[in-house]
């Protein structure tokens, strides 16, 4: 397996998207027994580009310099496709967040992935309660 720094930021975002989505789904299933249609709706709201872009900014204060660099590399990567249902800025920031999660996951830093996800989740939960 290659070193995690050898992967393109878009490859990191590709795996990070799956990691983030799995964490959201796991959190939802373990919170309450809901119909799958409700799970899908809530999950979609949590993983859409606009929500991830918000978390891109939210996490910055908690990141190391290396983590910030990975997230910026992801944000600055040229996706080669147009964002569906998102602004270009939100799509790029979401890609940065996904790249960070992919980087941490592939480098074996799963506890850090979970720590950062919990920050995103707790902030999202607080906003939805307002």
Active-site residue, selected from the candidate residues 17, 65, 90, 124: 17
User: E-assigned strands of the chain?
Assistant: none
Give the dihedral of Cα atoms 108, 113, 115, 118; nearest 10 deg: -160
In whole angstroms, give the CA distance from residue 59 to residue 117: 9
CA gyration radius, the chain: 14
Residue 66 among the catalytic residues: no
Cα 29-30-35 angle, rounded to 5 deg: 30
| Catalytic residue IDs | 17
């Amino acid at each position: 397996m290659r070193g995690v720094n050898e992967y393109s930021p878009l490859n990191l975002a590709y795996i990070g998207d799956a990691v983030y989505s799995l964490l959201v789904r796991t959190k939802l299933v373990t919170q309450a027994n809901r119909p799958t249609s409700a799970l899908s709706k809530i999950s979609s709201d949590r993983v859409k580009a606009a929500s991830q872009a918000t978390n891109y900014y939210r996490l910055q204060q908690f990141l190391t310099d290396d983590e910030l660099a990975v997230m910026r590399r992801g944000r600055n990567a040229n996706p080669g496709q147009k964002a569906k249902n998102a602004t270009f800025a939100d799509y790029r920031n979401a890609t940065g967040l996904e790249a960070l999660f992919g980087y941490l996951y592939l480098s074996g830093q799963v506890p850090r992935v979970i720590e950062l996800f919990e920050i995103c989740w707790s902030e999202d939960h607080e906003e939805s309660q307002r």
